[in-house]
Amino acid sequence: MKIQRLTDELSIRRQLADGTEQQLQAVKEIIEAVRAEGDAALLRFAKKWDKAELSALKVTQEEIRQAAERFDPQLLADLTEAAQNIRSYHEGQQQQGYRHDRADGSYVAQRVTPIESAGLYVPGGTAAYPSSVLMNVIPAQVAGVGRIVVTSPPDSDGNLSDGVLVAAHILGIDELYKTGGAQAIAALAYGTETIRPVDKITGPGNIFVALAKREVNGDVAIDMIAGPSEIAIIADDSAYADEVAADLLSQAEHDPLASAVLLTESRALAEQVAAQVASQVATLPREAIAAASIRDHGAIYVADSRAELINAANQLAPEHLEIMTEDAEAVAEQIDHAGAIFIGRYSSEPIGDYFAGTNHVLPTNSTARFSSALSVYDFVKRTSIVHYSEQAWRENQEKIARLARLEGLEAHARAVESRAWKKESQS
């Protein structure tokens, strides 16, 4: 890894991936094909890109049952416990509406209700992600979403991975479809003969999925445009170099575009971590991916002070931020921008990916400056309610009319005043 002095502007900062003109055009064509042809387009694209000859898009209950029967019992127990942890955490996010009553008999209120349907995208391709099923489905269930749909690309045999099927089985999800990429997003947004459209689409994916979500946004709600995975680590001499290196590589193995950054005041630790990364990456099954990530988007920054490290972390606003210092809790208190913060030696980032209960669908590309992890809040809507009494209207209608005329909106003013005219004519 490159070791360099920390400057005011971090060279590692990247822009949101907009895709090439060719990728964007391809996504638009895929969306139009799905809207025009429905299932036929999905089946054709499965054959073209997934090399899968599908006779049906929907996963059968028999497929789910067989996957559960052949699944390793210990892994089943582990996934079940992880699901319980995730559910327990997200239940703390449940919101109640409220009502403010006023002395004049009027009230204002807010009602919180779940969206009716959600489509949850689970990536496939280079790896299968049952954890993504848990992370997307559980907050939707806690929110009370009535219809939950999961889509994921099939393998060349036309199957979803056993892990994905078993995760869905644990959660009681029976509406699963074998379709991925931009075509899956189009199907969820606009519907086909088999897949009914949904109100919101969540879940990460490759550049084609991200571009498709951007294209359908507005016709359907989306959670975020996710970019490549990121990890930043603030560490001092109390940290172990091999552990820091392992945590950096935990994200580098996701994608050649993933970024892994160490922020430290210790030149000695920086050199030790660089050596450990070089040694460990060579032993990984996904060595080529991790090595490319480290080479192109990895860096070690050495600063003169703790304040510089904290400022740099807030500049990065990383998806994942680990703090491996003697005063980790105090450092964490000074972090304003991060998708998720992992405090202390034993809080390795993968713990959040799988088991702690927090959600691993997180903002990337510095969008943690203004956005948050996927949560129950993403699956509910809040409705404002106004009930004005006659007394409140009488006391305030002239004020409201004046404010409307201030903005040049005469019809607004007359709408409020019209009640007065009726009252006078009736008296």
Residues with active-site annotation: 319-320
Strand intervals (E) in 131-207: 147-152, 176-178, 200-202
Report whether 229 belongs to an annotated binding site: yes
Backbone angles phi, psi at 120, to 5 degrees: -115, 115
Report whether 412 belongs to an annotated binding site: yes
Backbone angles phi, psi at 198, to 5 degrees: -120, 175
Q: How far apart are CA 263 and CA 313, in angstroms?
A: 8
348: exposed, middle or buried (Cβ count in 10 Å: 0-12, 13-18, 19+): middle
Strand intervals (E) in 81-213: 98-101, 107-114, 117-121, 147-152, 176-178, 200-202
Report whether 206 belongs to an annotated binding site: yes
Q: How far apart are CA 115 and CA 139, in angstroms?
A: 12
Report whether 90 belongs to an annotated binding site: no
Q: How far apart are CA 373 and CA 360, in angstroms?
A: 7
Q: How far apart are CA 271 and CA 255, in angstroms?
A: 24
Token pair for 363: 């903002």
Q: How far apart are CA 45 and CA 288, in angstroms?
A: 28
Give start and end residues of each alpha helix (H) in 12-60.
Answer: 21-37, 39-49
Q: How far apart are CA 212 and CA 198, in angstroms?
A: 15
- 223 DSSP assignment: S
Report whether 304 belongs to an annotated binding site: no
Q: Any idea what the Cα angle at residue 26 is, between residues 21 and 28, rounded to 5°? A: 95
Q: How far apart are CA 63 and CA 68, in angstroms?
A: 9
Report whether 360 belongs to an annotated binding site: no
For 165, half-sphere exposure in the C-beta direction (CA atoms, 13 angstrom radius) is: 21
CB-CB contact of 318 with 368 (8 Å)? yes
How would DSSP label each residue in 365-379?
Answer: TTGGGT-----GGGG
Report whether 94 belongs to an annotated binding site: no
Going by the annotation, the residues of the binding site for Zn(2+) are 251, 254, 353, 412
Going by the annotation, the residues of the binding site for substrate are 229, 251, 254, 320, 353, 407, 412
Going by the annotation, the residues of the binding site for NAD(+) are 121, 183, 206
Going by the annotation, the residues of the binding site are 121, 183, 206, 229, 251, 254, 320, 353, 407, 412
